[in-house]
Amino acid sequence: MSARRIFARPARLAAIVPYVWMVLFFLVPFGFVLKISLSQTAIAQPPYEPVFDLTAGWAALKPAFAALSIDNFSLLASDDIYVFAYVRSLTVAVTATALLLLIGYPIAYGMARLPKRWQAVAMVLVIVPFWTSFLIRIYAWINILQHDGLLNQILLALHLVSQPVVWLSTDSAMYIGIVYSYLPFMILPLYATLAKMEPALEEAASDLGAPPWQVFWLVTFPLSLPGVGAGVLLCFIPIVGEFVIPDLLAGSNSLMIGQTLWLEFFTNKDWPVASAAAIVLLMVLLVPLLLYERLQKRQLEQGR
Amino acid sequence: MRKISRLSRFNIASLALGLAFLYLPILILVIYSFNASRLVTVWGGWSLRWYHELFNDRAMIEAAWMSLRVAVSSATIATLLGTLAAVALSRGERFRGRTLFSGMLYAPLVMPEVIAGLSLLLLFVALNAERGFWTVTIAHTTLTMCFVAVVVQSRLSSLDRSLEEAAMDLGCDPLRAFVAVTLPLIAPSIVAGWMLAFTLSLDDLVIASFTTGPGSATLPIRIYSEVRLGVKPEINAICTLVIALIAMVIVIASLASKLSSSQGESAAPL
């Protein structure tokens, strides 16, 4: 037997503990979300009617199944608040991802063209803000965007505006916050593909007479598509369920689904509806999530 | 063609603007934490006043202490579990349930936090667990071990496997080969994984809000409830302290990986 095969057996055993952990704390909880999304709201602690109790045995299962209700889901489909929240979440995520691509691409492209020694420095500089707290970075923008904040002071001093502009509680503030927070997630996968690209390909295209924009559009961009895909998924999926940024920077008159879920759960204490909202959110994200997993797997296992 | 000429003026401008965009807001926040004036917009000279007030804010200090304890314990457990998972995925060849395993590990990397937080809370309620330090620690471990697994796995898959195979051909059993050959080579990525788990835990608001109980707020929960009421210089001060702590962690991490890279290959910080 080869050394590789002998090594594989104990390596497989290493999976046991993390496997059990993930099943217990990642997979099983989804069962509870599903179960509670099908139960009735109750004024109790915890605030829902128990749907089934396994300790009661199989005999109790039949009435339990009869008691399951899809009321929460029909509520989500019929109430405009929820429908709007889903539509808005998707619109915001698509717009923000497009902005991120437009802003992130030139930066990643610039990084990939730096001399090798400087590339490592630039990469660290892009990663460091990702390590700093998410909440703090949003707070930093509240400082700048508030009524008498730095941005308005600069605009007033330059006589670009005559009165302070309202930035906070607007969609522009939210988009600034999202772009700011997710930019490293867009830049890094783009940079990774751009840096691996063979420079001779671009040089060949331009030697054959292609103007720079054509070199970019016909050679560079198509070759960077795997990075574009990774960056888009890495930003789009979490933005759809984003809570903190819209909550702190956007106005409260149109909510995203993450905010609705939070509101139902913490303010209205309606756990069944919150659970149903989570299930629908998961369904919406299922396809992008599966795409992302395939991508991640291919990337991590290509060395094999 | 010379390499340098590939860098156009457009490239330099977009890089400079991009980095300024990433760093200026944080820099402004830090500077204003030393502002003597209570008005966040008026510069009243340098002062440590808000740091003094911060140290008298008991609730804030308790929250910070809670967050540190959660971050250290969850990062440690997550590093252990995440490294085991990475070893199984990159060296275990095929095994039953492998697809499910990798699926469970990669999904939390992008999964919206509201979903993870809600589902864990429902589990804890069903188990009748008392919510507080341990429930938040378990929740953070579950999330961050996935990041550790990815960081360590990408290092493992770039390693030359003939090294550990040579050790085994020379008579090491698999465990010995792993400890003597593989482990020292992946050590920088394990350190980086721990640091990443630590900062992610220290940063998390959403999952902690769902899984903690009354009376045990973490630092982000505390900061969040203050921020909702508006900008306050004390918040600038506590944010600056958190940034300083994270900067320290990054410096230590990169020094650690520099030290070990002088023995092996260099490791990326992420």
Task: Please answer yes or no on whether B206 and A153 come within 8 Å at the CB atom.
Answer: no
Across all residues in chain B, what is the average pLDDT? Answer: 85
pLDDT score, position B201: 93
Residue located via tokens 């003939």: B162
**Cross-chain CB nearest to A7 (options B19, B112, B174):** B174
pLDDT value at B269 more than 60: no
pLDDT score, position B72: 96
pLDDT tens profile B94-110: 888 888 998 899 889 88
Q: How far apart are CA B243 and CA B23, in angstroms?
A: 12
Q: How far apart are CA A10 and CA B83, in angstroms?
A: 14
In contact, A104 and A235? CB cutoff 8 Å? no
Task: Please answer yes or no on whether A237 and B111 come within 8 Å at the CB atom.
Answer: yes
User: Which of B9, B15, B143, B218 should be substituted to probe chain A, the one whose Cβ sees the most A Cβ atoms within 10 Å?
Assistant: B15
pLDDT score, position A90: 94
Q: How many helical (H) and strand (E) elements, i.e. helices and strands, does chain B have?
A: 12, 0
pLDDT tens profile B166-176: 888 888 888 88
Contacts of A32 in chain B (CB under 8 A): 119, 122-123, 126
Those residues whose C-beta lies under 8 Å from the C-beta of residue A60, and which sit 6 or more positions away, are: A52, A53
pLDDT score, position A180: 93
pLDDT value at B2 more than 50: no
Residue located via tokens 């934490």: B33
Closest A-chain CA to B148: A18
**Cross-chain CB nearest to A11 (options B41, B82, B87):** B87
Task: Please answer yes or no on whether B25 and A180 come within 8 Å at the CB atom.
Answer: yes
Preceding amide of A106 cis, omega within 30: no
pLDDT score, position B46: 85
Confidence grade of residue B148 (pLDDT, cut at 50, 70, 90)? very high
CA distances from B221 to A21, A230, B225 (A): 26, 31, 6
Q: Counting Cβ atoms within 10 Å, is residue A127 exposed (0-12), middle (13-18) or buried (19+)?
A: middle
Mean pLDDT, consecutive 10-residue stretches, chain A (304 aa), reads 77 90 93 85 62 54 64 76 88 96 93 86 83 84 84 86 84 93 92 87 85 86 90 93 91 85 87 88 89 83 54
pLDDT score, position A229: 92
Task: Please answer yes or no on whether A300 and B150 come within 8 Å at the CB atom.
Answer: yes
pLDDT score, position A214: 85
Contacts of B140 in chain A (CB under 8 A): none
φ, ψ for residue B37 (rounded to 5)? Answer: -80, 145
Confidence grade of residue B6 (pLDDT, cut at 50, 70, 90)? low
User: Chain A neighbours among B 76-105 (CB < 8 Å)?
Assistant: 81-82, 84-85, 87-93, 95, 97, 101-105
Nearest Cα of chain B lies from the Cα of A10 at a distance, in angstroms, of: 7
In contact, B79 and B194? CB cutoff 8 Å? yes
Give the pair of three-digit tokens for residue A180.
């700011």
- Find the range with the poorest average confidence among A118-132, A220-234, B127-141, B144-158: A118-132
Nearest Cα of chain A lies from the Cα of B213 at a distance, in angstroms, of: 13
% pLDDT > 70, chain B: 91
CB pairs under 8 A between A and B: 305
Which residues, listed in sequence order, are joined to residue B20 by a DSSP beta bridge?
Answer: none
pLDDT score, position A4: 78
Tell me the ipTM for this assembly: 0.86
Closest A-chain CA to B125: A46
